[in-house]
Structure 1
Amino acid sequence: MKRLITPKTLLVVLFLLAGTMAKAQVSALSDLTAGTLAVYCPTDQVKLTAASTGAASYIWKRYPGANTSGTPVTLAGTTANLTDTPTDAGYYTYVSTAVNAEGCESTVSDPAIVYVLPGISAAIVSSSPSTTQYCETAIPAGLTLTATGGKTGATVSETFAYKYQWYKNGTAITGATSNTYAFANPGDAVVGTNFAYTVRITYVIKACAETTSNAINFNVIATPGKPTIVVTP
């Protein structure tokens, strides 16, 4: 006996599938793979310390990814303190082996998993892209700027939560911390030229890789005075 799929049933199935495919934005260390110990900015050096009784030196290895299933790279450092600079964003797994003075090697340490953030791109667009000049009394209602942020130079699959701060002529606008900025009239209707609006974007999970967007410049033109009429007999 065949069962008919009703529109209601199909809607539920699609909803469940969408829920399983949707990815939460990374805003805390707990949002990454379990076992991740630290998050590093794109230009940071990863710093690790090993400790072993009787060790004279250490062998350090770095695996690509969040486990030891890939092909490791044996690093140059042989002391208990390791400083390493990965070349790409994403997960890295480090392990260490202790070696005593006679050359005997310990068992390999438990893995230490870290995550290196990608760079950020930032851009803004206006809801009225073809107009950047307004009369002081005619800034249209609903005029907004929208910020877009994205990963640069990275193939990581994680999606990130961002923090935003809007600026006018280089001065932070109080309270303007969402991904959009709505013009406030008369606050944004001061007469003048080249009012430059920009936004800075950084990660929620760690304050690094901050990027300033392109500037959108607005000119606000003074309106002429109210005319008076004189009747000439």
Structure 2
Amino acid sequence: PAPFITPVPAGTVVAESDVASPKGSIHFHYRVVATGDGTYTTDVTDFTSSLPVPVGVSFYQVAPSVGDGITFGGDGGSEIGGPTATPASASWSFGAVTQPSYLSTLVVHSTSTSPDVPVEISAGKVLAVAPVAWSVPPRGTNIAPVDSGAVAFATGALEATTASGSPKRYTVAPDDLIDAVARRFGISVSALLYMNQGLQVIDDAQHLFAGTTLVLDPDSV
């Protein structure tokens, strides 16, 4: 059967919290909500800001500190708006992230384009940082990898396992073949490709590139 991972049901709130900047200049409440098609939206309510610049929100895997400058826009983000004492709302698509729980931190940052604002609130400056407590429910799947141990043409290392001990990540060794790796973990080649979209092979024998990290945990996809 074709491999599948069922999406989180529409309307499921997978993260939610209040956020405030250290000096109290910015306040808002946010929720990340499943759409039912494998994606999410971010909803911001009760947003107020006394700073004279527009601000945005993004999610990051590695947390910066307040006052840092960011050059990478993060994931699941958008501009919220400029200064307002009247509570405002905003909503946007989280983007093409089907499993967002690796993004541990919400970051509020300046999106100003003006050269005439103080450096501490200039473009890209981090204004607030908040940890994200994700509650993404387990998704149904017919992919259940089990490591049978190294075999010919699948001799790479299992780099990580899930909490239940199932294979999570595998590093390709020289001479590994895609079908041998799939057999080692008891899954089909199509399931391996489903979890590692864009995976490339070298030749007609379908050797994998040595050093490539393969995802084996369907709930990480």
Q: Where on the TM-score scale, by shorter chain, does this alignment land: which range?
A: under 0.3
Q: TM-score, normalization: structure 1?
A: 0.27
Q: Which structure carries more strand by proportion?
A: 1
Structure whose alpha-carbon radius of gyration is higher = 1
